[in-house]
Structure 1
Amino acid sequence: MKFLSAIILLTVAVAMADRDEDAWNFYKFQFGKSHSPQEDAIRKQNFLARDRVIEKHNRENKEWQMAHNKFSDMSDEEKQSILGAKPTVRRERSVASDSHPVMDRQLPASIDYRTDKCMQPVKDQGNCGSCWAFATIVPIEFNACKKNGTAIAFSEQMLVDCDTYDGGCNGGMYTNAWKYISEKGGVMKSSAYAYTSGTTGLAGTSCKYSSTAVAAKVTAFGWTMPYPNATVSMNYLQSDGPLPSAIKILSSIYNYASGVYSDPACIVADEYDVDHAIVIVGYGTTTATSTTPATPYWIVRNSWGTGWGQSGYFLIKRGVNMCNIESWTAYVRVA
């Protein structure tokens, strides 16, 4: 009997090992991963640990789902290196505006700028903590298009290389970048200053700014007030377009695939506990079912490429300041 049990256990172990090897090889093929033999063993362990987490989460959580992506074989240190939001002193304004949304008007049930003709395709920050630069540029692109009628992509690389208020690939903040742009005289077109950053990039060391390629100027910017307040942010979203914000990134979000993201560990008490810049581009509410209630959500644009999340976007629970998303919303106006 003991011998039979040992045979069964050995058979199961072999089957699991074969399954793990097949899953690892398919993952590498699917995401174009290629490693040296020594690195492959480490990456495989990272992947298998993540595979167990994803399987367990999807079995137990019905509100949102996980899936494998480019992050699945990365170490925690690698994933943290691309987080670049560096909060500034709260409510500092460099360019003030006397014009604010009317807060008592009727808001639409939903807003979704993802398919708006003025929304540029999702971009990928790569191995650089430059999320702040992408969050800076998105609302400028959108609002300049709304004002001038022409969709133009603007340069994140100009900010990574030139903005001395921020730290290039070492992080920064969109309000600092808007201050820099307003003082510099405008932001360049991406066609004249394309994004190239990888693991390097230190502001001020390789700036190629040229005023001849400037296509938009910042005229005003500020924080949404009061905060955190979902209704206030919804009003600004309607009147001023996409709103950058900063959030706390937990390990759970790297493999987000669908649904409305939430994590009890992401209800944080410290408003400065944020490390990644994103852009809110809409809001809505899920339809209630027999097993799940209706859930208010934000539609959020990320800068991790179209292969992440829902073609580069994700939904996150609205109205509870999930991951501090409602504490750091800001708006910008352009000419």
Structure 2
Amino acid sequence: MKFLSAIILLTVAVAMADKDEDDWNFYKFQFGRKHSPKEEANRKRHFLARQRAIEKHNSENKDWQMGHNKFSDLSDDEKVSLLGAKPAIRRERLISREVAVPVLDRALPASIDYRTNKCMQPVKDQGQCGSCWSFATIVPLEFNSCNKTGTAVALSEQMLVDCDTTNHGCNGGMYDAAWQFLQGKGGAMKSSSYAYTSGPSGTAGTTCKFDSTAVGAKVASFGWVTPYPNPTAIMTNLQSDGPLPAALMVLDSLYSYSTGVYSDAACPSDVNSVNHAVVIVGYGTTTATATVPATAYWIVRNSWSTGWGLSGYFMIKRGVNMCNIESWAAYVRVV
């Protein structure tokens, strides 16, 4: 009997090893991975750990699902390099300086979705560079400039990475400081004149190639959405000011987001715990089913390429300040 049990266990172990190898080879084919023999073992280990996490989560969670993407074989240090929101202030210290504007008592639509708006530029990829703040800075400028002039414009994140010495290039920054920098500099250049090239390195101020003749948009004013965290205030500003940059705390689970309304009970409650800049581009509510209740959500644009999430976007639970996303919404207006 013991011998038979041992044979069964061995057979199962061999089958699992074969499946792991098949899954790993398919992943490498799907995402064009080619590793050196020295690197192969570590990459495979990261992938299989992610595989187990995805399988466990998807079997237990009905609200949102995980899936493999280009991050599945990265180390924790490599994933951290994608984060770069670094607020210069703590939100509670701003209360005395910010005027809490009453939320307008206007009729808000049941949903807003700017993803397919003619003024929304395609989702971009920040690469292995903590420049998320520059992408969050640029998106609303592109959108609002187009809204005002009727002409679509693509603006340069690389200009901010290279030139904005109030922020830290690939080592992080924040959109409010970037808007202030652009006010003093004279505006944001067009990406056609200053293409995005950042990789793992990038030091602000050392390679700046600013050209005032290539400016595509200028900042008139900007501010924080107040009071905070207030979902209705964010919805109101989305209607009046277009897409809104925000910051949130990225937990390991978000890297593998695939579909559904994201939430994670491990998100911190301290509103100052944020590490990544994104852009809120809409909101809505899911349709209730027999097993899953309706869920209010934000539609959020990321800068991790169209191959991540919902073609570069994700939905996150609305009204509960999930991962502090409702504490850091801001708006910008153009000249």
> TM-score by structure 1 length?
0.96
Cα drift, residue 269 of structure 1: 2.2
Contact 1:101 1:236 in 2 (8 A): no
Q: Which residue of 2 aligns with 1:178?
A: 179
Contact 1:101 1:239 in 2 (8 A): no
> Superposition RMSD on alpha carbons, in Å?
1.6
CA deviations 1:58-106 (Å, max 9, x no partner) are 111000000000110001111001100001225699xx999x7861001
Matched, 1:247 2:251: no
Please give the residue correspondences for 1:93-132 in structure 2 after superposition, counting only pairs within 5 Å.
Answer: 103-132=104-133
Q: Would you say 1:214 and 2:211 are equivalent positions?
A: no
Q: Deviations over 1:154-179 (max 9, x none)?
A: 00000000001000000000000000
User: What are structure 2's unaligned runs of at least 5 residues?
Assistant: none
* Structure 1, 298-307 or 74-83: larger mean CA deviation: 74-83
Distance 1:195 1:240 in 2: 26
Q: Is the 8 A contact 2:156 2:194 kept in 1?
A: yes
Structure 1 match to 2:316: 316
Distance apart, 1:309 and its partner CA: 0.1
Match of 1:297 in 2: 297
**Corresponding residue for 1:57?**
57
Counterpart for residue 168 of structure 1: 169
**Contact 1:168–1:202, Cα closer than 8 Å, also in 2:** yes
Query: Hey, what's the Cα distance between the residues in 2 that align with 1:146 and 1:269?
Result: 36
Question: For the Cα contact (< 8 Å) 1:97–1:220, is it kept in 2?
Answer: no
Structure 1 residues 253-300: Cα deviation after superposition (integer angstroms, max 9, x where no partner): 10000000001111x221110000000000000011111111000000
Amino acid at match of 1:292: V
The match for 2:257 is: 256
1:329 aligns with 2:326: no
Q: Deviations over 1:119-142 (max 9, x none)?
A: 000000000000000000000000
Question: Is 2:212 aligned against 1:203?
Answer: no
* Counterpart in the other structure of 1:157: 158
Q: Is the 8 A contact 2:103 2:233 kept in 1?
A: no
* 1:52 match: secondary structure: helix
| Pairing 1:275–2:270 present | no
Gaps in structure 1 of 5+ consecutive residues: none
TM-score, with length taken from structure 2? 0.96
Identity of aligned residues (%): 73
Q: Does the 8 Å CA contact 2:123/2:302 hold for their aligned counterparts?
A: yes
Q: For the residues of structure 2 that align with 1:89 and 1:103, how far apart are their CA atoms?
A: 27
Which whole-Å CA distance do the structure 1 matches of 2:12 and 2:192 have between them? 56
* Superposition misfits of 4+ residues, deviation over 3 angstroms: 90-93
The count of aligned residue pairs is 331
Is the aligned partner of 1:225 residue 2:226? yes
Q: Distance in 2 between matches of 1:8 and 1:186?
A: 68
The amino acid of 1:134's aligned partner reads: F
Question: Given residue 154 of structure 1, which amino acid in structure 2 is its aligned partner?
Answer: L
The residue aligned with 2:13 is 13
**Local SS of the residue matching 1:109:** coil
Q: Residue deviations 1:21-66, cap 9 Å, x none?
A: 0000000000111111111100001000100000011111000000
Whether the aligned pair in 1 keeps the contact of 2:134 and 2:174 (CA below 8 Å) is: yes
| Equivalent pair of 2:280/2:299 in contact (CA under 8 Å) | yes
CA distance in 2, matches of 1:184, 1:334: 14
SS of equivalent residue, structure 1 residue 200 = coil
